Amino acid sequence: MANDQHEPLEVVDENNRVIGIQKRSKIHREGLRHRSVHIFIFNARGELYLQKRSPAKDQYPGYWDSSAAGHLDPGETPEEAAHRELGEELGITAALTAIYRHPASPETGWEFVTLFSGTGDGPMRLNLAEATEGKFCTAAEVETLLNDPQERVAPGFRLLYRLFRKNQWM
């Protein structure tokens, strides 16, 4: 959902253990730790699909971001959330592999992030409440995007992509 401030999410401690449930708005306002997934979808040519976040999003509206991403619903596993987000945001299904877990930090918006990768050539059916556009990009195009001060890129994606390139998980 693009801007559901009443969405219940699990709050977690510094060790990623559930300590309660709060509304999304409170979690984001107070910088409470919570959980999310990011998914990198690559096509047969090895290009990464990026989406531009909807202007209706409460955080980083109009910024370039991972192929799909989202919070875990209460009781949901990262794997379940990743598959749900792919369907909700891109209208696709894909085999996914968890490739990295990042601790909560300011760059991730205090989210413990599980990064997944998968392959798919589309067609993508963007949920316009989530994203206004999307495209497959070569590694050089992603680097250009990241280095262009005129482009807005979500900090969580920037962090995860840099780690991905450094470690070459695939």
Summarised one tens digit per residue, pLDDT across range 42-89 is 999 999 999 999 999 888 999 999 999 999 999 999 999 999 999 999
Residue-wise pLDDT for 137-148, tens only, equals 999 999 999 999
The pTM of this model reads 0.93
Residue-level pLDDT at 2: 44
Q: Which two tokens stand for residue 7?
A: 């969405």
Q: Cis peptide before 123, with omega less than 30 degrees from 0?
A: yes
Q: What whole-number distance in Å separates Cα of residue 11 and Cα of residue 9? A: 6
Looking at the chain, the number of H-run helices and the number of E-run strands are: 4, 9
Residue-wise pLDDT for 85-133, tens only, equals 999 999 999 999 999 999 999 989 999 999 999 999 989 999 999 999 9
Judge whether 150 lies within some domain: yes
Reported confidence tier of residue 1, pLDDT bands at 50, 70, 90: very low
Residue-level pLDDT at 92: 96
Judge whether 1 lies within some domain: no
Residue-level pLDDT at 6: 81
Q: Torsion-angle region of residue 46: left (phi > 0), alpha (psi -120 to 50) or beta?
A: left
Instruction: State the residue range of the domain holding 80.
Output: 8-167
Distances (CA, A) of 127 to 86, 88, 90: 10, 7, 7
The yes-or-no verdict on residue 169 having pLDDT over 60 is: no
Judge whether 120 lies within some domain: yes
Chain centroid to CA 64: 10
Judge whether 139 lies within some domain: yes
Judge whether 3 lies within some domain: no
Domains in the chain: how many in total? 1
